[in-house]
Amino acid sequence: MSATHDVVIIGGGLVGASLAIALESTGLDVALVEAAPAAAMPAVFDERNLSFAEATVNALSSLGVMARLRAPTGAIERIHVSRRGDFGRIRLAASDYGRRNFGQVVVAKDFGEALEARLADVVALTRHRGTRFTALAVAADGMREVHLQGGSTPLLRARLVVAADGMRSGVRTALGIAASEHDYGQVLLVARLRAARAPDGTAYERLGDDGPTALLPRGDRAWGLVHGVATADAARVQALDEQAFLAHVQDAFGWRVGRLLEAGPRSAYPAVAVTATDTVAARAVLVGNAAQSLHPVGAQGFNLGLRDAMTLAELLAAQVAVGGDPGDPALLAAYAARRTEDRSRTLAFSHGFARLTANPLPGVTLLRSLGLMALDAVPALQAGLVGGAMGYRGDVPAACRAQAG
């Protein structure tokens, strides 16, 4: 058995599901290939804390996803960045830029449930669930053939294939697109914390030799922890009992929220960046982590991936309006061109910031401290940092620019 679609999206995670929703208004026949069965959520929808930039909130509001969130979000009204052992700090306030907040903190599980509720309303979408991508081929008529395993339809034909299947993308490999990889030698531990001081809208990022320790203001009056440790020490820290773990994090973070009182279950994620050399191929495009995965410092990863999806959806809508082919080489070239500046600048910021802030050398410490002081004191320098943090780099998709209601 086989089926033919205009667009086949491989990967039903954060970016793939969002793209499927964004294509609803285009009238395209879209298929979404999801490894998770119908009764289960993808593994990415766990207890991680996602920082949605303002541009991301705008886009997800326009898609009707934010309204489906059942749990309250945590507004990021202020950002406080410092580094252990350095002098200087960066303090940013959304009110200084005419904004109520820089973005929102959303728990990945809640976001997954909201996406699922919204996907259920998308009519022109065929979901292949519990199905895995195995191979890619080119048909005699030039269309892409997508080979699947585990579902009732082992072969899909597509005018455009979208790889949204994560950092270890099988579609990227099948397309022959190379990727560079950088292991930061860190593991990020994620948990829900309760402290003496409840969140007040401030997102803290405390930098250190082994990575960042971030406390994010969740909507449930708890803090979302992201704590970096050296890979060699990760198993030991992960195995600490609750009180020992709290003492470890307290030592790394300090006392800006008072004593840390409780910690929920911990999850661990290696800090590895993977960057594809190309984002498009014949009748194929990479989005999200399939195109680039980032170090989580600065919380840029999903926000960048969503802008990939929204840019592609915008171009496809314009192509459909003139009766064009969704896999047209000119459209794919336009997509790659539009994503170049945002992608390159965000990758450079993330990689540079992660390496610079973890460097313990004395000369670097002095320069970094002076840089923190300058960013805290010079509005013009802050403005560029704020714009990027809110998701406004390069050619921003229209849905990301529209103010959320």
222 domain residue, yes or no: no
Determine which of 77-86, 188-197, 288-297 has the lowest per-residue pLDDT on average. 77-86
What CATH number is attached to the domain comprising 384?
3.50.50.60
Cα separation, 167 vs 135, in Å, equals: 17
Instruction: Provide the pLDDT confidence category of residue 199 given band limits of 50, 70 and 90.
Output: very high
Residue 114 belongs to what H/E stretch? helix 108-119
Q: CA separation (Å) from 111 to 3, 66, 114, 293? A: 30, 8, 5, 19
pLDDT for res 404: 46
Question: Which residues form the domain of 95?
Answer: 2-180+272-401
pLDDT for res 299: 62
Burial 314-344 (b: 16+ CB within 10 A, else e): bbbbebbeeeeebbeeebbebbbebbeebbe
In the predicted structure, residue 300 carries a pLDDT above the cut 50: yes
Q: Could you give the number of structural domains in the chain? A: 1
Kindly tell me the burial class for residue 298, based on how many C-beta atoms sit within 10 Å of its own C-beta (0-12, 13-18, 19 or more): buried
Instruction: Provide the pLDDT confidence category of residue 124 given band limits of 50, 70 and 90.
Output: confident
The share of the chain scoring above pLDDT 70, in percent, equals 89
Q: What is the mean pLDDT of residues 21-34?
A: 96
256 domain residue, yes or no: no
pLDDT for res 47: 78
What region does 296 belong to: left with phi over 0, alpha with psi -120 to 50, or beta? Answer: alpha
133 domain residue, yes or no: yes
Q: What is the mean pLDDT of residues 165-188?
A: 95
Q: CA separation (Å) from 40 to 34, 35, 269? A: 11, 10, 21
262 domain residue, yes or no: no
Contacts of residue 379, defined as CB under 8 A and 6 or more positions apart, other chains included, come to: none
pLDDT for res 356: 53
pLDDT tens per residue across span 234-257: 999 999 999 999 999 999 999 999
266 domain residue, yes or no: no
207 domain residue, yes or no: no
153 domain residue, yes or no: yes
Strands 223-230 and 155-163, bridge-based pairing: unpaired
pLDDT for res 42: 77
pLDDT for res 353: 61
pLDDT for res 329: 97
